[in-house]
Amino acid sequence: MSACPDTLVETAPLPVLGRDVTVPLVTGGEVTYAALDYAASAPALQRVWDDVAAYAPYYGSVHRGAGYLSQLSTDLFENSRRTVAAFLGCRDGDQVVFTRSTTDSLNLLATALPAGCEVFVFETEHHASLLPWGSSPAGRGGRDVRVTYLNAPRTPGEAVRTLERALADRDPYGPALVCVTGASNVTGELWPVRELAAAAHAHGARIVLDAAQLAPHHPVSVRDLDVDWIAFSGHKLYAPFGSGVLAGRADWLQGAEPYLAGGGASRKVARRTDGGVDVEWHTTAARHEAGSPNVIGVYAIASACKALTEAGFDALVAREQALVARIRAGLAEVPEVRVLSLFGDDAPRVGVISFVVDGWNSSHLAAALSAEYGIGVRDGLFCAHPLVRTLLGSEPQDPGECGAPEAGAGEKSLNAIRVSFGAGTPDEHVERFVRAVKELVTEGARWSYRTEDGRCVPDPTG
């Protein structure tokens, strides 16, 4: 484990909304809320909010009108597409398609898979990148999409070797796609994306990168990583309003039926003499952007891309690694804590750390962190059930404890705690979290808790 630095930067490099919000404590009084659940949804950058507020009076329909506001909104929308393309280092000919989220982006790509495509995906993926392939319309439509789920590797090298063996056994002449995360939403560990891309291409396969957890923390380039597509979400990139991105090669997207049928995706629609309708679809990104675009969400993403670029990823990464080291060093001082990892303590990672505490159900500890310290973290399986179950193995938590998830027949009750942070996290939030974990584990909770609707919550009676 890296040594903890002596000092940390006192303030977050990028101001976010909610940094001054106070929340009540069950023990009395209020405290500034410590948002440490960035991996679920990062708070909006103040810069993003200000940019959106400045544009809001000029909001108009995109690609739909001749009026000034419509034309301005259309320019804003398309300029945002260019900003995102630059942020992702897109190649000439790549398309940037705006979607609702990473999940939406990967489901869109799943509908564009050629017939007979083989998909290879590690069991360690978030459900957004684990589940779309076998249940996609392409598969349901009888286009023979086959999915191979690969076992969790224990080193980056093993990940590459596992993929190479799987690809070597496939039909060398058929289409194939590899889906891999850039940074785990459970452990924060960085995956060997360049090496996996090289292995995929050496065996005639394409690769899509789930960058939902990577893009907010590290520079991500289609060109430099040599991936075919990148998917990410605005709400994890400090940009709310429900927009996402799928960027990369155009041919499979152009060859697929539109993701949604409707206005904006169609270039020309005409009645036939037999009473039917002929449709000519766009071949640009508009093919998969039917309906009125979410221009506010798209502009928010572009604003966040600019803010991160201007702040400089070198400085952001260095500062975040200091926070990672501080938390890991603090947790290491508590013998009851076990940090979850696939690749080991020395593996590079982003600001995402999951752990379990001996003697505590994770839901109970997360509830106490919130109610007694004003700290927001995540507990559960983090929409990555196979991975968390692999990491927890045979360490069940007491199913009778407050908030413990119900286990199925023959299953163990498993869940963990995740703390995640980024460019908007003040040092005080990290220090408070480390202190709170130590106090709760050594001294116990100061309040009573009960299970309500499956969640551990403070007992009103104390």
Can you tell me the distance from the alpha carbon of 204 to that of 307, in angstroms, rounded to the nearest whole number? 37
* Residue 90 falls in the annotated catalytic set: no
**Given the residues 4, 179, 305, 383, the one annotated as active site:** 383
Q: How far is CA 195 from CA 67, 120, 147, 225, 341, in A?
A: 49, 15, 21, 9, 20
DSSP states of 84-137: HHHHTTPPTT-EEEEESSHHHHHHHHHHTPPTT-EEEEETTS-HHHHSTTTTSH
Residue 154 DSSP code: S
Can you tell me the distance from the alpha carbon of 367 to that of 385, in angstroms, rounded to the nearest whole number? 21
The residues, ordered by sequence, that sit 6+ positions from 159 with a Cβ below 8 Å of its Cβ are 122, 153, 191, 192, 196
Active-site annotation, residues: 383
